[in-house]
Structure 1
Amino acid sequence: MTDDTLPDLTSCDREPIHLLGRVQSFGCLVGLTLDWMVSCHSQNAPAMLGRAPDAEPMIGAPAAEVFGGDLMHRLRNRIQMLRAGQGVEVISRVALPTGQHDISLHVSGDTVVLELEPHRGDNPEDTVSTVRRIIERVSRYAAPGRLFEDAAYFLQLDTGFDRVMFYRFLEDGAGEVIAEARAPGMESYMGLRYPASDIPRQARALYLRQTIRLIADSSDVGSPVSPVTDVSGRIIDLSSSVLRAVSPVHLAYLRNMGVAASMSISIIVEGRLWGLIACHHRTPLVLSQVRRNAAELFGQMFSLVLQAKLLEEERQHDDRVRDLCAAITRAAIPEGPMGRMLLDCVQEFTPLLEADGVATVIEGVVATRGKVPETPVILALARALNRTPTGQVYATDHLAALDPATAAHAEHASGLLAIPVSRLPRDYILFFRGEVRRKVTWAGNPQKPASSTLPGGQLSPRTSFAAWQEEVTGHSEAWTPAQRRVAGQLRVSLLEVVLRLTDEASRLRKSAGEKQELLISELNHRVRNILGLVRGLVSQTTTGEISTAEMVVVLESRIQALARAHDQITRDNWSPASLRELVRVEAECWQFERRDRVIVTGRDMLLMPTAFSAVALVIHELMTNSAKYGALSGPRGEVHVSLVADADDALILDWTEVGGPTVVEPTRRGFGSTIIERSIPFELQGEAEVSYRPEGLSARFWVPAVHVRPGAADDDVTALPAPAAAAAPLIAPRRVLVLEDNLVIAMDAEGIFRDLGAETVVLAASNAQAAQHLQAAPFDLALLDVNLGAETSFPFAEQLLAAGIPFAFASGYGEGADFPATLRSAPRFSKPYNEGTIRKVLAQMSLTGTSGAA
């Protein structure tokens, strides 16, 4: 069969199965107008009602003449309970000339529809009691699995059908048999799948409206209703009819399956057709109205039990999701990259969603965890997702349908659950599932639900229902509705987190805006100060009558003093640091030989890390201003610094300048003045008072106790180190390796070692070069720069340690670098360094008698 000759299966969806104009022959139909006149009836009605062959036609006759006054009274009372199109009422054991009958009545448009069938002597109380016992038993099971098995077994025993199946609808509309009870000799349909076309859309709609449907004989074409149309030309709508005849296509379908009678009971969960209970029999079977009513009651009660259990599972699931979402809200902190933070937040959802891996795509940056495709594939996938509706979770078990390029990565990316967390740009949380190759067993080939087309366009259903296996590749396990709902809840939580972090960031930016501006300005200010200071040092050093060699020594020592001042600000960043030492270092940086005119009195105070930078900036600016314009700018001026702890253990720092030039209050506040007057109040919630007295500037600062700790008591300024005695002669290493990526610094180190007597100094700029030199010949000593740009020298240091070769580290990080545990005891010193520094290191290594990490 070519594509051109394939039957149009949509004709099944368009077939008006509720307008067939016939009823099944095991009963009859009588239609009444709203003023109780007979408007239509099935052709078998007169005989079933016991009317004589020569009796007047029923059409147009008063209903009371056909049914009698007593029955009409009962019918009127029941109709009063009904509204058009809503429900069916039942009257049992109505005495008619042909015996007792059961009557079902409902309203269809302007017609009161009566359907009569012979009463079959089942006791309603017994059947209802049986239903109650079955429901009581199956409702005890905690999970739905056993629920279906036992319900099928009991229903098969109660109804007498050869086979009872529980049939669940899948996401794609197909159905799967999930439980079965069958008589001996019956072929098992357990696990088989049926294509969605087996139950057309309009049939599913009727299953929602009429929750039980009996087909007593698949060879019965039914008894026609006459007249075919009413006075308006409309065929009577039998959607709610219990006797409604069956489409010829479906009758052929049942006969092809070897089914002579069938009954379907709807399973409705939260207003949706969740599945069906399908009953099959090999011979025609008319189930009494009492048993059908009991079976319908069973279906309704079973639906409620199933719904309760599914809701309980959903509740437990939601509790878990709620706990995880709450944990996300608590754990989310505005530190580090957003993508990495979100990845840490959602990792607990990976097992809940049964995903193999997760990735975040935030502003084009990808972070991953678990089994996921490569970064370029993820970025391309994010672009493909931009075509999907905004603000909605996207789920697929066949990712190649969205992006064919992902087919090559099916092992890790066959299924995708994408959660958008922003609009512009589109950022995503992506959960991946790998490919699950599996074989699906269908009841016949699902691609051939119809075999041919009969004259008039009528379909002939397939004749084969033998198990037909299909191998499915490129697909993952399907995402369940519960998992999609979890993704929706996660999206809401993530949006709350993102919004909260955004608000928090805005608040912090607003409250810290002035501080950020201050720090940026301070960076520019300090860079210019340092450059200006170095220039001043060079200029000051070159004045006077000294030789070039002496000038180099003096200049080098002064630059070293500046470096020590910088180290003092950062060295004790994680522990309380000495305020007295801070003053000493700043004085040494600026005043050199005149530093003895800075006099510190009072007990030393230790500044906490939270306060050290702010106070250091203030002292630096005070010292700078004094050296440029204040007491220290003249020959006899002095600065008195008083450190006192008040009754609350807070710090009172008094800065008093005397003996300098006359002070004039500035007309404009520069950045340095801003630092002095506002840093401590702003950052430390302290106080600052600055007075521009003519005889000298004075300032008082109050730093809260939370930022200070008491230090050693001392009434005098801390003595500066005396000039070092001449270093004892050292035995210089003969072969030295310098690992340094800056050529100027490396050449400077080479000159120092050669001046100390080294015979060979080898320079290397990378670990690889250094390893080559080490392989060529051993060394007596290695000097290693920590940071080599794209790498550190730690791997090469490990080689030296293993070889027993002494080494030391030089770094621009000071003492703040994070060293591996095996290298933490190695000698280290800060840049810039000079010959004296190298001598001290050599002396240290010689005194300890170690080689390597001394």
Structure 2
Amino acid sequence: MYDSQEINISNCEREPIHLLGRIQSFGLLLCFNADWTLTAASENVSDFFDASAQSLIGQPIERLFSESVKIKIRRAIVGLEHSDDSERLLNLEVIPGKGKMDVAVHISGDDLIVELEPSQVTEKASFQTLRRIHQEVALAQDFNELIARAARHMSLITGYDRVMVYRFHADQSGEVIAEQRNIDVESYLGLRYPASDIPAQARALYLRNLTRVIADVNDPGVPIRSGQRTLDLSISTLRTVSPIHLEYLQNMGVQATMSVSIRIDGKLWGLFACHNYSPYVPSLQQRSVAEVYAETLALEIRSRMFEEERIASEQARQLHLRLVTSLETSVSLFDNLVVHAQKMHQLIPSDSMVLVVAGEFHVSGDPVSSEDIQLLIQQLNQSESRGIFAVDCLSDWLYERLTLADRYAGMLVVPLSRRPRDMLIYLRKEQAQTVNWAGNPEKPVELGPNGIRLTPRKSFEAWKEIRRGYSEPWTRSELFLAEQVKSVLLEVIVRNLDEYKRVVSSAQQQKDVLIHELNHRVRNILGLMSSIVSQTSSVSGDVNEYKSMLGGRIQSLAVAQSKLTEKNWSYAPLRTIIETEVEAIATLPARVRSSGPEIDLTPKAFTTLTLVIHELLTNAVKYGALKSSSGSVQIDWKIGTAGSLEFHWQELGVTIEAPPTHRGFGSVIISRSVPHDLGGDARIEYQRTGLLATFSIPPDHFRLSDDLPVDNASTGVTEFPSAPTPNTDKVLILEDNMIIAFDIEQVLASLGYQNIVLAASVSEALKVIEQGKPCLAVLDINLGTDNSEPVGRELLALSVPFIFATGYNEQGSLFQRLFPKVPFVEKPFDKSDIANAIRQAEQSV
């Protein structure tokens, strides 16, 4: 007796179908080593070379082919980019007097495999035909029409009696979803085949080798003479067939077959299964065109999947918008989500949806008992799965049969947090499914002609199965949408859990302060970005340069804001700027070396130095040391004798013949940001050996990492558009942010103001006024720990027209009471706002 436990489907799955040691007899195989010496050959080579395989082994390639053929084969081998690639040479006169041959070459490990077969002349696979049917693919109105056309097209290309489009299901069973056949051929449309019909190792080969042809199921094949070693024929076009598969085809009544894989996103989506009821082998050209067509179809299917994903993304975006606009911090996260529970339920077709947050739950759709929900949550919290989790047979998954499994068969879980989990649970009821199997899917275990193994079934008549306990399967687009919903909820909702707890425990006064500060920073950052856009556009040569420069600067600013946000707008490390910018810009980070003590910067200094270092690195990559393969950058910093932070930038390995004659906006950022924004110094020297830049940052803008934190003022940021008709007298700009001040300067200069003086503090502005009365002034209200009230009073006393700019509504209201006739503009503002304000100011004097 045989042990029945040893006779199972693994017999088929363990069969080495790529190591059978034989090829089909419609061609011949030659195997060469790296020196192009023949190491193996099929025994039928004697039919073509008038010498036995044994006598040819050990001979160089020159013994077999002419010089021109040898060169073509070698070039084909050189052109192979990947291990599973193959190259085809069609209609080639390989052996004089033996007719034209088609040649396929590929690499298998250390072996160079050359396969030859007689050429066939056919019009079925012309490239004109391929172009015509390609155009028809995109015209299909829906998926079913697309697949039906695909079966018809493949039949036209290959000429088989039956062509089927065979799609794999999640359980690896397959279904015939489209078919093109001769009128006298039985239909297999709609039949389902168990996963065992195409074992795992066969599916793996289908992924590697797009086409697989069997010319004659009764062909005994041709042995390969190769000594003690069996060749790996995974990519071979001539590889012979497993005895079990041959028996399977014979039971089906098929005499010849071909399969063409349909691969999508690196996975085996399905295949074309082609059957013929007499021996038949399509030409190598037909098989090549079939491969191209299958890849085209895969792209079209993927494109339509992408459209489904786009629709899903739009649905998730709409949910995101609803959540963001309606989120209220005065109520709990659970209460916020319950408002949108019905909408979230409608996104993914299901009978019920359970929202679980912080131990509370809410059911949308058909009711689910509290006991079932609690038991289900308990099991889900014990599960190892962390991502989207879906089953279509709930009773198979549950540890014990709950009443829930009596009412629902399918479940899709969208986790929203770690254990104990917050989650969305979508539930589907049973949908009895009638599956038309191609014969009984359970292969009988018996002694067959191939030994103790599963013998292929002999009947392929439709065998109906009513599947109970299963729901409608969760589709790819539904799972994609679930991922989108998860991302939306994690980003927009779950991150607010800590914020909610903090807000409800804070006093109302503290909340108001935080809201005002956030409002100010948003206005400032919008103004700063607007200024960067304006100044970048004024110096960029073309669109691509503009996009590159603008993208880099805004990304640098975004990184600074992100790092400061991580630090709750407190001190942030200087080293973080260098590491982040080098990683993002420098192509070879190892060529940028840095050293210095651990320094933390104030938010204002952190933002300023981020922009400066970004511009230095950008210039080094485009024009300086990092443009040269031998160049490098050395960055050092230390605490100077006066207590300032001394920051040194040295470029090496490059020769500068002359300093640049053009100073763009990036150069302005490098040379003027630190002096203007931080009250420090900047020295830029274009030495012959490379750029040398030295910056001195005052002590109140940094600390050593061990120091205690200090309070820091936020930086006002604005945008200044055009002004009314100008005069040419002195104009004062009081603004503590260099980029915004420079932007205002550029705007006023374009309007004719020629004598523009910048001041970053109240004391500087008063000195400018003392040195000569200006004709106009633009004052930022908020100057860190100070404000511009003293400057405004001095200008009023001198009857000088001026305007105020502010990012704080409340502070603006205070100044409006102090200066009732002075125009105000709120950040962010545009050029027309500034122009109107200046006009009003001039009229009020």
Is this a same-fold pair by TM over 0.5?
yes
CA distance in 2, matches of 1:2, 1:418: 45
- Aligned 8 A contact 2:312 2:484 in 1: no
1:187 and 1:418, CA in 2 relative to 1: closer, same or farther beyond 3 A?
same
Task: Report the TM-score, using the length of structure 1 for normalisation.
Answer: 0.57
- Please give the alpha-carbon distance, in whole angstroms, between the structure 1 residues aligned to 2:141 and 2:416: 37
Q: Look up the match of 2:63.
A: 65
- Answer yes or no: is the 8 Å Cα contact 1:21–1:228 preserved in 2: no
**Residues 253 and 461 of structure 1 are in contact (CA less than 8 Å); yes or no, is this contact kept in structure 2?**
yes
Mapped contact 1:192–1:441 kept (Cα < 8 A) = yes
RMSD value, Cα: 2.7
- Alpha-carbon offset, residue 461 of structure 1: 1.4
CA distance in 2, matches of 1:274, 1:14: 23
Shift of 1:470: 1.4
Unaligned runs of 5+ residues in structure 2 are: 512-812, 814-845
The alignment status of 1:89 with 2:96, answered yes or no, reads no
Which residue of 368, 375, 382 corresponds with 2:377?
Answer: 382
In 1, are the aligned partners of 2:316 and 2:481 still within 8 Å (CA)? yes
Once the 2 structures are TM-superposed, how far is the Cα of residue 20 of structure 1 from its aligned partner? 0.9
SS at match of 1:90: strand
Counterpart contact for 2:84–2:209, Cα < 8 Å: no
1:717 corresponds to which residue?
none
Partner of 2:273: 278
Quickly say closer, same or farther: Cα 1:203–1:56, change in 2 above 3 A. closer
Tell me which residue corresponds to 2:21: 21
The separation in 2 between residues aligned to 1:480 and 1:355, in whole angstroms, is 12
* 2:60 partner amino acid: P
- Within 2, Cα distance between the matches of 1:389 and 1:381? 14
Q: Judging changes above 3 Å, is the alpha-carbon distance between structure 1 residues 146 and 451 closer, same or farther for their aligned structure 2 residues?
A: farther
Which of residues 304, 315, 319 is equivalent to 2:314? 319
Shift of 1:485: 2.4
Alignment partners' CA distance in 2, 1:508 and 1:377 = 33
1:347 match: 342
Counterparts of residues 454-469 of structure 1 (less than 5 Å): 454=449, 456-469=451-464
- 1:83 CA displacement: 5.3
Could you say if the C-alpha distance between residues 299 and 499 of structure 1 is closer, same or farther in structure 2, counting changes exceeding 3 Å? Answer: same
Cα deviation per residue 1:806-825 (whole Å; 9 max; x = unaligned)?
Answer: xxxxxxxxxxxxxxxxxxxx
Please say if 1:208 is aligned against 2:207.
yes
Q: In the alignment, which residue of structure 1 is the partner of 2:158?
A: 159
State the alpha-carbon separation in 2 of the partners of residues 415 and 84 from structure 1.
Answer: 42
Please state how far the C-alpha of 1:395 moved relative to its aligned partner: 1.3
Cα gap change, 1:6 to 1:461, in 2 (>3 Å): farther
For residues 106 and 343 of structure 1, do their structure 2 counterparts lie closer, same or farther at Cα, with a shift above 3 Å needed?
Answer: same
Deviations 1:189-238 (A, max 9, x none): 11111111111111111111111111111111311100253xxxx31111
Whether 1:194 aligns to 2:193 is yes
Tell me how far apart the structure 2 counterparts of residues 450 and 298 of structure 1 sit (CA, whole Å): 40
**Cα distance between partner residues in 2 of 1:368 and 1:399:** 18
Task: Indicate if the aligned counterparts of 1:50 and 1:98 stay in contact, CA closer than 8 A.
Answer: no
Alpha-carbon contact 1:377-1:406 (below 8 Å) kept: no
On the 8 A contact 1:331/1:345 being kept in 2, the answer is: no
Tell me which moved more, 343-352 or 195-204. 343-352
Partner of residue 260, structure 1: 255
Give the partner amino acid of 1:32.
F
Counterpart residue identity of residue 240, structure 1: I
Query: Partner of 2:394 in structure 1?
Result: 399
Which residue among 241, 265, 269 is the counterpart of 2:264? 269
Match of 2:144 in 1: 145
Q: Counterparts of 2:486 and 2:226 in 1: how far apart (Å)?
A: 59
Is it true that 1:494 corresponds to 2:489 in the alignment?
yes
Equivalent position to 1:235, from 230, 251, 274: 230
Change over 3 Å in CA distance of 1:86–1:396 after alignment to 2: closer
Name the SS for the 1:254 alignment partner.
helix
Aligned to 2:9: 9
- The one-letter amino acid paired with 2:266 is G
Residue pair 2:309, 2:480 contacting (<8 A) in 1 also: no
- Structure 1 residue 174: Cα displacement: 1.1
The equivalent of 1:503 in structure 2 is 499
Moved more, 58-67 or 322-331: 322-331
Q: How far 1:363 sits from its partner (Å)?
A: 3.8
Return the offset for 1:327: 1.8
Q: Secondary structure at the match of 1:57?
A: helix
Q: Which amino acid aligns with 1:214?
A: V
Looking at structure 1, the residues matched to 458 and 404 of structure 2 have their Cα atoms a distance apart, in angstroms, of 40
Distance apart, 1:509 and its partner CA:
1.9
The 3-state SS of whatever aligns with 1:89 is strand
Please list the CA deviations of residues 521-547 of structure 1 after superposition, one character each: whole Å capped at 9, or x if unmatched. Answer: xxxxxxxxxxxxxxxxxxxxxxxxxxx
Larger radius of gyration: 1
Cα pair 2:164 2:177 within 8 Å, conserved: yes
Q: How many residues align?
A: 510
Of the three residues 427, 442, 450, the one matched with 1:432 is 427
Alignment of 1:780-791 (within 5 A): none
Q: Superposed, which structure 2 residues align to 1:244-255 within 5 Å?
A: 244-255=239-250
* Aligned counterparts of 1:267 and 1:284: Cα–Cα separation in 2: 25
1:508 CA displacement: 4.0
Pair 183,2 (structure 1): closer, same or farther in 2 beyond 3 Å: farther
Cα shift at 1:123: 5.3
Amino acid at match of 1:164: V
Matching of residue 297 in structure 1 with residue 274 in structure 2: no
Matched-pair contact (CA < 8 Å) for 2:23–2:221: yes
User: Superposed, which structure 2 residues align to 1:410-809 within 5 Å?
Assistant: 410=405, 412-448=407-443, 452-454=447-449, 456-496=451-491, 497-512=493-508
Distance in 1 (alpha carbons) for counterparts of 2:466 and 2:25: 44
Which residue of the other structure, out of 310, 316, 325, is the alignment partner of 2:305? 310
Q: Please say if 1:357 is aligned against 2:352.
A: yes
Secondary structure in structure 2 of the residue aligned to 1:309: helix
Q: Give 1:338 shift.
A: 4.3
Q: Deviations over 1:320-345 (max 9, x none)?
A: 22222332232333455644532332
- 2-structure distance, mates of 1:332, 1:475: 38
Distance change (3 Å), C-alpha of 1:10 and 1:215: same
SS at match of 1:67: coil
Q: Which residue of 2 aligns with 1:36?
A: 36
Which one of the candidate residues 272, 283, 288 is aligned to 1:288? Answer: 283
Q: Whole-Å Cα distance in 1 between the matches of residues 134 and 85 of structure 2?
A: 23
Over 3 Å counting, the alpha-carbon distance change for 1:506 and 1:265 in structure 2 is same
CA distance in 1, matches of 2:31, 2:126: 30
Equivalent position amino acid for 1:80 in 2: V
Shift in Å, 1:464:
1.6
Uncovered stretches (5+) of structure 1, i.e. residues with no partner: 516-705, 707-854
Q: Distance in 2 between matches of 1:272 and 1:61?
A: 41
TM-score (norm 2): 0.57
- Contact 2:372 2:403 survives alignment (8 Å): no
Distance 1:252 1:409 in 2: 46
Q: Which letter maps to 1:106?
A: H
Contact 1:119–1:288 (CA<8 Å) still a contact in 2?
A: yes
Deviation of residue 459 (structure 1)?
A: 4.0
Deviation at 1:428, TM superposition (A): 2.6
CA gap of 1:135–1:452, structure 2 versus 1, over 3 A, is farther
TM-superposed CA distance for 1:254, in Å, is 0.9
Distance 2:54 2:195 in 1: 49
How far apart, CA to CA, are the structure 1 residues paired with 2:237 and 2:359? Answer: 61
With over 3 angstroms needed to count, the CA separation of the structure-2 counterparts of 1:253 and 1:15, relative to structure 1, is same
Partners of 2:269 and 2:214 lie apart in 1 by 21
- The question of whether the paired residues in 2 share the 8 Å contact of 1:451 and 1:462 is answered with no
Q: Which amino acid aligns with 1:72?
A: K
Residues 479 and 70 from structure 1, CA distance in 2 versus in 1: closer, same or farther, beyond 3 angstroms? Answer: same
Which deviates more, 192-201 or 493-502?
493-502
Partner of 1:101: 101
Higher deviation after alignment, 19-28 or 498-507: 498-507
